[in-house]
């Protein structure tokens, strides 16, 4: 069963970040760089009205949820799926930046092999999330590792169908230097709650074993993740442990650089190991990192807050809708933060309100447009904001 830890003595504060009312607004605010290349949203995870929930846009829903919960006094709820997506997204950056070095690890062919899934329907009726999951079956048939798909796809007690789609699109994105994809349509932190079971978090920890096989940098990435995930598991054994309370107190600190940049420190930076170009986000050798956080002798690097990488991955997909072709993109990852009420009184107030936050995973499929038109569209949107 889930476990909750009392990690600080103060009450939670009210969440005051702006709520997004539509899937389009969430996409625009969370993924502005992709907005420039988008012509229309074809489908997304957010088929339900966003009015039913308080979802705030976020470039990286997981890391910023840790950041806001710690620095602004909010209860925090996370799932093993959330942590796994944060890990997968970082691996996506690395693999795409080192595709040729890793080619023999993943595939036996040269260049990109085109993979196709076929479905009866039209662009308006087909479930593209389900097609993305099916595409992972095609990827698995063409990679050398017989366990790759099983390793990537989450199977926790908290895993939803939406999570499987998110993982599938991230798998497609990670393998995009080796495969191209076509979908062909034909007619016819005052407290932390870890959801799921202890076994889910043990399974998440076990998934780290494969990452060092990708190279020296992934091995260092795993070294950072291991003490963090070990403590996630330990939370189920002794939720009141002072050591675990101290652990959550080290998750995400905002450090002012005076007239210079502002830095994020704490173990949350483990999920910011690579930037969006697959290059390490730290400076100097790991042993020389300027850090205020160590776990089991492992030092965690600082990351400029402006350099926190995106929590989502994107991949191009050719769409053939009964003979009409579309150039599309699929995008998936941690793209928001959902706020809710714990039912407890807010700090310094005699009322309840939105005081708890949780990372939100989701995906979109959109048709690409030309660069000049998309640039004007982006400028017009931000002028309105």
- Rounded to whole angstroms, the Cα distance separating 101 from 113 reads 17
How far, in Å, are 71, 113, 182 from residue 176 at the CA level?
37, 10, 12
Least confident range of 84-93, 196-205, 280-289, 338-347: 280-289
Residue 229 pLDDT grade (very low, low, confident, very high; cuts 50, 70, 90): very high
- Rounded to whole angstroms, the Cα distance separating 234 from 262 reads 32
Q: How far apart are the first and last CA of the chain?
A: 43
Q: What is the mean pLDDT of the chain?
A: 90
pLDDT of 9 reads 82
- Rounded to whole angstroms, the Cα distance separating 22 from 51 reads 8
pLDDT of 385 reads 47
- Rounded to whole angstroms, the Cα distance separating 385 from 380 reads 9
User: Do 37 and 375 form a contact (C-beta atoms < 8 A)?
Assistant: no
Residue that has been written with the tokens 């932390």 in this structure: 192
pLDDT of 140 reads 97
Residue 377 pLDDT grade (very low, low, confident, very high; cuts 50, 70, 90): low
pLDDT digits (tens, 9 = 90+) for 231-280: 999 999 999 998 898 899 889 887 765 556 788 889 999 999 999 999 99
Strand-pair partners of 130? none
Residues 6+ apart with CB under 8 A from 124: none
Beta strand 312-321 with 179-186 is parallel
CA dihedral 132, 135, 136, 137 (to 10 degrees): 140
Q: DSSP state, 269?
A: G
What percent of the chain is predicted at pLDDT more than 70?
Answer: 91
- Rounded to whole angstroms, the Cα distance separating 248 from 59 reads 22
Residues 6+ apart with CB under 8 A from 222: 208, 211, 212
Query: By three-state DSSP, how is residue 313 classified?
Result: strand
Q: Is the pLDDT confidence value at 373 over 70?
A: no
Residue 372 pLDDT grade (very low, low, confident, very high; cuts 50, 70, 90): very low
User: Do 236 and 200 form a contact (C-beta atoms < 8 A)?
Assistant: no
Q: Which of 335, 327, 366, 333 is nearest to 92 (CA)?
A: 333
Q: Is the pLDDT confidence value at 42 over 90?
A: yes
Q: What is the mean pLDDT of residues 142-156?
A: 98
pLDDT digits (tens, 9 = 90+) for 283-296: 545 554 555 588 99
Q: Is the pLDDT confidence value at 48 over 90?
A: no
273: buried, middle or exposed (CB in 10 Å: 19+, 13-18, 0-12)?
buried
- Rounded to whole angstroms, the Cα distance separating 101 from 98 reads 5
Least confident range of 21-25, 207-211, 275-279, 282-286: 282-286
């Amino acid at each position: 069963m889930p476990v909750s830890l009392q990690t600080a003595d103060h009450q939670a504060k009210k969440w005051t970040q702006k709520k997004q009312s539509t899937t389009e607004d969430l996409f625009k605010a969370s993924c502005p760089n992709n907005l420039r290349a988008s012509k229309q949203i074809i489908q997304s995870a957010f088929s339900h009205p966003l009015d039913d929930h308080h979802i705030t846009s976020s470039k990286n829903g997981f890391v910023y949820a840790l950041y806001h919960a710690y620095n602004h006094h909010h209860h925090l709820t996370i799932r093993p799926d959330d942590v796994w997506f944060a890990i997968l997204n970082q691996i996506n950056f690395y693999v795409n930046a080192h595709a040729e070095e890793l080619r023999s690890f993943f595939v036996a062919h040269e260049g990109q092999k085109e993979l196709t899934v076929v479905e009866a329907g039209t662009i308006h009726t087909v479930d593209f999330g389900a097609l993305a999951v099916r595409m992972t079956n095609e990827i698995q048939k063409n990679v050398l590792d017989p366990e790759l798909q099983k390793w990537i796809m989450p199977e926790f007690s908290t895993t939803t169908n939406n999570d499987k789609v998110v993982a599938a699109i991230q798998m497609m994105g990670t393998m995009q230097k080796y495969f191209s994809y076509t979908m062909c349509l034909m007619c016819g932190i005052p407290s932390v709650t870890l959801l799921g079971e202890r076994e889910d978090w043990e399974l998440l920890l076990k998934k780290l074993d494969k990452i060092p096989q990708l190279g020296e940098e992934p091995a260092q990435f795993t070294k950072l993740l291991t003490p963090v995930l070990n403590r996630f598991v330990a939370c189920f054994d002794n939720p009141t442990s002072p050591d675990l309370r101290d652990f959550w107190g080290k998750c995400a600190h905002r450090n002012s650089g005076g007239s210079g940049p502002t830095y994020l420190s704490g173990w949350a930076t483990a999920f910011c190991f690579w930037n969006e170009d697959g290059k390490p986000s730290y400076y100097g050798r790991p042993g020389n990192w300027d850090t205020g956080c160590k776990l089991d002798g492992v030092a965690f690097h600082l990351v400029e807050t402006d350099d926190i990488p995106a929590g989502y991955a994107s991949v191009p997909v050719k769409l053939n809708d009964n003979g009409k072709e579309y150039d599309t993109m699929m995008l998936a990852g941690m793209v928001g933060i959902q706020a809710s009420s714990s039912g407890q009184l807010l700090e310094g107030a005699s009322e309840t309100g939105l005081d708890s936050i949780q990372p939100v995973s989701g995906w979109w499929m959109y048709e690409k447009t030309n660069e000049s038109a998309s640039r004007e569209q982006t400028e017009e949107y931000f002028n309105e904001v």
